[in-house]
């Protein structure tokens, strides 16, 4: 993943063109639209642009787009709840979850032929505006599934599988699994915001939305290349290689664009 700063381009990309291509990429035409104020720019001006009615309303994400440096910085806010965890466990799990979201959601995207380097930073925020997350530890050797229904009033659950140590799984491997799971579960908030239950619970068409079973049309794990962080794969058709999910998973470009489309934005020309 190339996260180095891109060099400035001769042909300036305007905010209006950025929004036009962003909406088109995720199939959100502006037939049902509203006008929003975006800015200020370096010149101190604010302006109105036309966007889809649902765009840029999520309170749990804020995006800064630097059109000159070709960088996009996205802050996502999660309310990590300690519940009955010790202070040490809470600090560890919160840090791992934030690291995982940054690791798997930072990537590069191309908008109107211009490549942007995208950094996603997860931040803790004790507020109703943030995504509510219960941090939990499973101490039995049985793997416990994390969830994020992404429905108002139901908290997500990010579960750390400490009990897997009884199965001789190293702590580092358990940590890496938790980082991957946290990034995936966060992604359900993005998919639900943009596409609802069918996109989110259906894992972008790879599972049945209600029963979560893998569809017959879902392919097995690829022999090489990236894995879609938000999709399931059919291991009966092709098993995953050891550590393949941890090493090769990444948020796809369209999902990063969905995240930007969802978030509040600040444009720097």
pLDDT one digit per residue (tens) for the chain, 269 residues: 444 444 444 568 888 899 999 999 999 876 656 666 665 555 455 566 657 778 899 999 999 999 999 999 999 999 999 999 999 999 999 999 999 999 999 999 999 999 999 999 999 999 999 999 999 999 999 999 999 999 988 999 999 999 999 999 999 999 999 999 999 999 999 999 999 999 999 999 999 998 889 999 999 999 999 999 999 999 999 999 999 999 999 999 999 999 999 999 999 87
pLDDT recorded at residue 152: 83
For residue 141, how many other CB atoms are within 10 A of its CB?
Answer: 13
Coil, helix or strand at residue 61 = strand
Q: State residue 26 phi and psi, 5-degree precision.
A: -105, 15
Task: Please report the pLDDT score of residue 38 as a whole number.
Answer: 62
- Helices 171-200 and 253-262 pack at an angle, to 10 degrees, of 70
**Stated length of the chain:** 269
The helix/strand/coil state of 121 is strand
Residues 59 and 37: their CA atoms lie apart, in Å, by 16
Cα atoms in the 13 Å half-sphere on the side-chain side of 57: 10
**DSSP-assigned letter for residue 10:** S
> Strand pairing partners for 120?
74
Cα angle at 219 between 218 and 221, to 5 degrees?
130
Domain ranges of the chain: 15-268
pLDDT of residue 28: 87
């Amino acid at each position: 993943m190339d996260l180095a700063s891109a060099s400035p381009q001769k042909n300036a990309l305007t905010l209006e063109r950025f929004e036009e291509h962003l909406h088109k990429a995720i199939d959100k035409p502006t037939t049902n639209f509203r006008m929003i104020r975006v800015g200020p720019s370096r010149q101190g001006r604010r302006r109105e642009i036309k966007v889809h009615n649902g765009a840029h309303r999520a309170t749990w994400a804020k995006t800064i787009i630097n059109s000159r440096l070709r960088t996009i910085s996205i802050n996502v806010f999660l309310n990590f709840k300690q519940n009955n965890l010790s202070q040490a466990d809470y600090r560890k799990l919160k840090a791992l979850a934030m690291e995982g979201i940054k690791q798997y959601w930072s990537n590069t995207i191309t908008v109107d032929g211009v490549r942007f380097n995208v950094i996603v930073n997860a931040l803790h925020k004790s507020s109703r505006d943030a995504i509510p997350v219960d941090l939990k530890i499973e101490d039995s050797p049985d793997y416990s599934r994390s969830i994020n229904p992404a429905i108002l009033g139901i908290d997500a659950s990010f579960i750390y599988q400490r009990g897997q140590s009884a199965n001789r799984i190293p702590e580092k491997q358990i940590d890496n699994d938790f980082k991957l799971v946290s990034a995936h579960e966060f992604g359900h908030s993005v998919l639900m915001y943009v596409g609802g239950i069918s996109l989110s619970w259906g894992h972008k068409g790879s599972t049945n939305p209600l029963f979560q079973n893998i569809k017959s049309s879902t392919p097995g794990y690829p022999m090489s290349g990236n894995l879609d962080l938000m999709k399931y794969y059919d291991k009966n058709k092709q098993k995953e290689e050891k550590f393949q999910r941890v090493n090769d998973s990444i948020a796809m470009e369209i999902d990063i664009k969905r995240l930007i489309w969802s978030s509040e934005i600040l444009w720097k020309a």
